Amino acid sequence: MYLKHGLDVANLSFVTIVFPQCCLQWADEQFPICAGHGQPCTIRTVMKIGPNNGRRFFTCKLPKNKQCKFFEWAEGYD
């Protein structure tokens, strides 16, 4: 059994039953790697009113006060 950070055993049991281990892949394994910390980035959505509203982007997943300056538009991740 593999435990992804942030999931408890109850959630993992549900995932394991619905998706056999051979077919399970974490979505963030396809995300770019943060150059500053070497970890997969997180995907976020622009909420500010304007031309980019609703557009998705990758950024460092650490808390705001520890984030590096990594930024990349998430083209094709809609």
Give the pLDDT confidence of 29-74 residue by residue, as tens digits.
Answer: 678 888 888 888 888 999 999 999 999 999 998 888 988 889 999 8
Nearest alpha-carbon partner for 40 in 52, 50, 20, 26 = 26
Sequence-separated contacts (24+) of 52-60 with Cβ below 8 Å: 58/31, 58/32, 60/34, 60/36
Residue 50 or residue 22, greater confidence: 50
Collapsing DSSP states into helix, strand and coil, what is residue 14? helix
pLDDT at 13 over 50: no
Q: Nearest 5°: phi and psi at 28?
A: -75, -5
Query: What's the pTM?
Result: 0.61
- Mean pLDDT of the 4-10 span: 50
- Alpha-carbon gap, residue 11 to 43, rounded angstroms: 21
Domain boundaries, the chain: 1-25, 31-78
